[in-house]
Structures are given as structure tokens and as C-alpha cells.
Structure 1
Amino acid sequence: MTRDNAAVLGKLSDSGQMVESPDEDVRGRTVTDSDGEDIGRVEDLLIDESERRVRFLLVAHGGFLGFGETKSFVPVEAVTRVTDDQVFVDQARDRVAGAPVFSPDLADKPDYYASVYGYYGYAPFWGTGYINPGLPPRGHM
């Protein structure tokens, strides 16, 4: 992805699109870290509008009853397993808490996406040879 052919990413909830099967919609599920600790919840999915692929989870964490929550993106590459009520990621809770904070003003900027991928140590989806992992099947290990 270069500045000239940057993908347009948007929240699934704003797109008018739907997840093919309600069982595959991970929004609202608890995000659990690599140590089994709860991080927060999947608030939304950031999708590549042209390819109709999930690129990031928007994770709300911290705060109390929705007050003081911080939101950050977690690349879909970090997802290791999905169950009926949880999404497991290969990152520690503190790592997700320290990620670049979500800001609607930055969420459509390629440099911001690059900083998120760099922070987590994944190659960005626009890189040469990238293969989209998608979300793993439910219960997959």
C-alpha cells in the first residue's frame, strides 16, 4: 500500500456490511491475552472496504462500566483462537494496553496503520507476499 493506492479501512458497524454468519461475528466478545488474562472486549472490526477483509480488531480496554476506556487496534494476525465468547490473542495484556491509541482522526492514515503493525511486530497487509490469515475458525488452536 502506498499513498497512491492506500486501502480504505472502515468500521464494520459504519459500513452497512454484515458478517456472513452471526456465529462468526466476534464483536462484543472478551479479548483474552497470551497469559489467559482478560484485556477488554471487541468493540468493532476494521475492514478493508475493497477486499471486504478484517484487518484489525478495535479493542476497548480499561476503565469502569465504559468510562475511561481506552481503545486500540489489534491486527487480525494476533488472533490465535476464537470461542463462543472469547477472542484469544498472542499478545500480553500490558502490550495491548501500550499500543498506539485509537483516534478517529488517525484511523484512516496509512502511517498510523504502519505504526500499529510495527508496534506488534507484524508485516502490514499491503506488504509484498502478505497472506491474510482471517480470523481462525471457532475453537481452533
Structure 2
Amino acid sequence: MGNNASRELVKLGDTGKTVADITEDIRGYTARDGSGAELGKVEELLIDPGEEKVRFLIIASGGFLGMGKDKAFLPVDTVKSINHSDHEVLIDQAREHIAGAPEYDPDLEEAISYYETVYGYYGFSPYWSPGYTYPALPYHPR
């Protein structure tokens, strides 16, 4: 990844694309931390259109009819496992840690410095870093 333009991420739902295997689409799944505490629902997947890979999950929690929702912006690297039969995604971070993450701001979705801050907070190198290895998960939009 040589320039910032190649790091622009878009919501999968805005692209007209889907994941390679529709049964692997985790939008709407319940996200849980390692202890089983519910974090919310996977609202959206942010993809890198150049490489066609999911880079972040947007987890929404709380609210009524979409009002007052809290959102967490999690690197795909935080996904520990996916349980398709129960429609759950297990995140390898504690609920308390996620609650203290840099605040989600839709105006910052395309800000490289925000991505770097989020990756750093969760202890991962950004996907454009030399030597980055994409997690072995079933996310390959098409």
C-alpha cells in the first residue's frame, strides 16, 4: 500500500458487492467478547475496495429504532471466531476494553490517522504496514 488513497475504506453495503459466499455475511450477527458478554450487532463491514477485503466491523449497541446507538469500530483482526449456527461473532477483546476505544465517528471513517489510532488501541499493526498478514477469516467481498 503506497498511498493514502488506496487506504480509503467503504461500507460493504454501499458497494453493491457481497462476500464471496453469502452464508459468510456476518452483518446482523451478535458480537460477543471472550467471556460471552454481548457487545451488540455487526451493523456493517468496512472493506478495502482495492484488495476487496474486510478491514473493520462496525458493532452497534443500544438505542431504540436506531436512535441513541453506540458504535464500536473494530479491526477484523479482533475476530476470534464465527459461529454461523448461532449467528455470533466472538471478539478477542474484553467488553470493558472495547468501551474505552477511540470514539466512533462516521466523519472519520476515511481518516488514516483514525485507523492508525484504532489499530494501535487494539494492539494490531495497520493493514498497510509491511509484513501485515490478513487474518484467516471468510471475508472476501465480490
Does the pair score TM above 0.5?
Answer: yes
Gap change, CA 1:34 and 1:4, over 3 Å in 2 = closer
Gap change, CA 1:110 and 1:22, over 3 Å in 2 = same
Matched residue of 1:105: which SS? helix
Q: Take 2:81 and 2:138, find their aligned partners in 1: how far apart are those partners?
A: 6
Partner of 2:77: 77
Q: CA deviation at 1:134?
A: 4.5
Q: Take 1:38 and 1:92, find their aligned partners in 2: how far apart are those partners?
A: 10
Partner of 1:20: 20
Gap change, CA 1:133 and 1:101, over 3 Å in 2 = same
Identity %: 47
Compare relative contact order (CA 8 Å, sep 6+) and give the higher one, 1 or 2.
Answer: 2
Q: CA deviation at 1:24?
A: 0.2
Question: How big is each residue's C-alpha offset from its partner over 1:43-84, in whole Å with a ceiling of 9 and x where there is no partner?
Answer: 000000100000000110233453311112111111011012
Q: How many residues align?
A: 137
Contact 1:45-1:56 within 8 A present in 2 as well: yes
List runs of 5+ in structure 2 lacking aligned partners: none
Q: CA deviation at 1:35?
A: 0.9
List runs of 5+ in structure 1 lacking aligned partners: none
Gap change, CA 1:136 and 1:16, over 3 Å in 2 = closer
Runs (4 or more) in structure 1 with deviation over 2 Å come to 1-6, 62-67, 134-137
Partner of 1:106: 108
Matched residue of 2:80: which SS? strand
Partner of 1:121: 123
Which structure has greater helix proportion?
2
Contact 2:4-2:112 within 8 A present in 1 as well: no
Gap change, CA 1:100 and 1:28, over 3 Å in 2 = same
- 1:1-141 alignment, distance < 5 Å: 1=1, 4=4, 6-64=6-64, 66-84=66-84, 85-135=87-137
Gap change, CA 1:2 and 1:100, over 3 Å in 2 = farther
Gap change, CA 1:4 and 1:108, over 3 Å in 2 = closer
Contact 1:62-1:69 within 8 A present in 2 as well: yes
